[in-house]
Amino acid sequence: MLLYRYKAVGIRLDSGDLAYLSCEARKFFQAIEKEIGVSDFGKMSITASNDLNEETIDALNKQGHEVDAFGIGTHLVTCYAQPALGVVFKLVEINNQPRIKLSEDVSKVSIPCKKRCYRLYGKDGYSLVDIMIGENEPPPKVGERILCRHPFNESKRAHVVPQHVEELLKCFWPGSSGKAREELPPIKLIRERCIKQLDQMRTDHMRRLNPTPYKVSVSAKLYDFIHFLWLNEAPVGELQ
């Protein structure tokens, strides 16, 4: 019989107040070493990442921290004129149960449950806004007044009456052996569609200097569900 032993070697901090969290983690490790008697547990390695550059590292050094190593990726392999596309897949559902990722950084909070996404166009032919809705919600219709809400800012909302509606998401691989897998279109058609989509953007969205941010919204029903799940999943602090 083979016996395997696993030894903890460290943790990675990838968001939040890196200086504070690293100090708190070090205290926690040292407390475990003292109370349980795990040798050298208090010296476990703490690695920090999250779009680090020389300025943030300098600020951390001046503030004081317990970080042993810095993981520098984005600013090491990309240049300022060609920034990285900050995209990551997030789990939104497990066994038909919606899940949400919480973070101190609101931009990293995920939007739970299976969704459908539509692009709403105005009378001039340009796209106005994208809207995400729950999988079982009725799709937006042309000429119908639709309330579009910012996922996390309750004051940012707008009514839209689209002149054209386009569904953006299409499932090619359902992930089930009982369902057929569709072939992706040829790369040439994908390129042509991308160019067409860019042509349907307003010029102020496409300008290089200070472009207008393109709006991505959620339906009123999905907005309510996001915040319901958020409040139910978020830990409640305790003041002493």
Same domain, 119 and 229: yes
What is the tens place of the pLDDT at every residue in 81-104? Answer: 666 677 788 899 999 899 999 888
pLDDT of residue 3: 67
Where residue 223 falls among pLDDT bands split at 50, 70, 90?
Answer: very high
Q: Which residues, 6+ apart, have CB-to-CB distance to 200 below 8 Å?
A: 121, 125, 126, 127
Same domain, 47 and 120: no
Same domain, 70 and 117: no
The helix (H) or strand (E) run that includes residue 128 is: strand 127-134
Same domain, 228 and 147: yes
pTM: 0.70
Q: Are 130 and 168 in contact (CB under 8 A)?
A: yes
Q: Amino acid identity, residue 165?
A: V
Same domain, 65 and 134: no
Where residue 205 falls among pLDDT bands split at 50, 70, 90?
Answer: very high
Where residue 164 falls among pLDDT bands split at 50, 70, 90?
Answer: very high
What is the tens place of the pLDDT at every residue in 115-155? Answer: 999 999 999 999 999 999 999 999 999 999 999 999 999 99
Q: Which residue has the tokens 């496409």?
A: 206
Same domain, 124 and 211: yes
- The reply to whether 118 falls in a domain is yes
- The reply to whether 94 falls in a domain is no
Would you call 95 helix, strand, or coil by DSSP? coil
- The reply to whether 49 falls in a domain is yes
Cα angle at 83 between 82 and 84, to 5 degrees? 120
Same domain, 20 and 131: no
Same domain, 169 and 123: yes
Same domain, 129 and 182: yes
Q: Domain residues for 39?
A: 10-77
- Measure the CA–CA gap between 156 and 149, rounded to whole angstroms: 6
- The reply to whether 99 falls in a domain is no
Same domain, 45 and 119: no
pLDDT at 217 over 90: yes
pLDDT of residue 179: 80
Q: How many domains does the chain have?
A: 2
Same domain, 68 and 120: no
* CATH number of the domain where residue 61 is located: 3.20.20.70
- The reply to whether 1 falls in a domain is no
Lowest mean pLDDT among 52-56, 143-147, 186-190, 216-220: 52-56
pLDDT of residue 180: 84
**Which of 77, 97, 130 represents a domain boundary (last residue)?**
77
- The reply to whether 84 falls in a domain is no
What is the tens place of the pLDDT at every residue in 21-33? Answer: 999 999 999 999 9
- The reply to whether 106 falls in a domain is no
* CATH number of the domain where residue 121 is located: 3.20.140.10
pLDDT of residue 182: 87
pLDDT of residue 235: 83
39 versus 116: which is more confidently predicted?
Answer: 116
Same domain, 60 and 147: no
